[in-house]
Each structure stands twice: as C-alpha cells, then as structure tokens.
Amino acid sequence: MDYREHTLRLLGKPPHVRPWHPRFSDYALITDSLADIGLNERSNLLMIADAPTIFTATFSDGGDRVVRIRSSHMLRQPYEVYEPLHGRFDVCLIEIGELEFPTADEILDRIAPMMRNGGTVLVVNYQPPRRRPNSGIPKVNRL
C-alpha cells in the first residue's frame, strides 16, 4: 500500500473526511447543510463557482442532474442563455470568495429563475486565510 492509500484510509476522501482531517469542519459544514435539506440521488443540483472546488468535482455527474456554471461566465452571458434551465433545480450551491461579494446580488438574480418552487440556495463564503484562529473557514448561509 502506498502513501496515498494510507492517507485516504487515515483521513478519508474529501469532502467525506474523518473528524481528524484538518479540513473536516470546513467540509462537514457544507455536506451537513446539503444533507439537512434532503439532497439525494434524484435531486437536481446547480453549482456556481468561479473555479473548480472539491464539491464541484465530487458532485459532478456529466450534466444529467448536476450542472456547474462558472460565476464569471454566467455574469457575462445574456439572461436568455439560461432560459432552458428555468425551474429545473432543487438545490443550488454557490461558492464565492471575498472578491466576488460585489456581484453576489447579480449572481442570485441570475440563479433565482433556475430554481424550482421551494428550492434551496446555499451560499458558501470562502475567506482568505489570515493569521487568526478560525480564519479561512467557509461560512454557509441558507436562503
């Protein structure tokens, strides 16, 4: 067994890691929130992030139930481009960084028509690491 296999057995595979993994609390905050709203194998999930994340990689399925859109690309496109996706999604996971805050309202305006009635939007705010305790920890807000 090589180093990678030992590491996976010891720490788990992100985002489903064991409590002693250094990013456990970060990942658990998001995975627990998704579980609390009932995300399952039949749910349609929209993921908005400007760069690939552990969650966009984990939940990707080739576009059948899960669709990933880069936030910067979405904001440059006319609204009509996304009309075929209106009313399709049960859950939306938006992952934004501190620099994207000025466009957060526009991102929400763009995804709102894509959500089904009663759908849930989770907004994860990634802050850059600082030299303080608990810095760099994502915050999850449920809309």
Per-residue pLDDT of the chain (143 residues; tens, 9 = 90+): 788 887 888 888 877 788 888 878 878 888 888 888 877 778 899 999 998 888 877 777 766 788 999 999 999 999 999 999 999 999 999 999 888 889 999 999 999 999 999 999 999 887 655 655 555 556 666 66
Between the alpha carbon of residue 39 and those of residues 4, 45, 55, the distances in Å are 30, 8, 13
Q: For position 2, what pLDDT does the model report? A: 84
Strand 12-13 relative to strand 45-49, pairing: unpaired
In a domain, residue 11? The reply is: no
Tell me the C-alpha distance between 114 and 39, whole Å: 17
Q: For position 76, what pLDDT does the model report? A: 95
What's the CATH code of the domain at 65? 3.40.50.150
* Residue 123 belongs to domain spanning: 41-142
What is the domain count for the chain?
A: 1
Q: For position 120, what pLDDT does the model report? A: 93
Q: For position 130, what pLDDT does the model report? A: 60
In a domain, residue 59? The reply is: yes
Contact 108, 98 (CB under 8 A): no
Q: For position 26, what pLDDT does the model report? A: 79
Q: What is the DSSP letter of 37?
A: T
Which candidate, 61, 74, 56, 67, places its Cα nearest to that of 90? 67
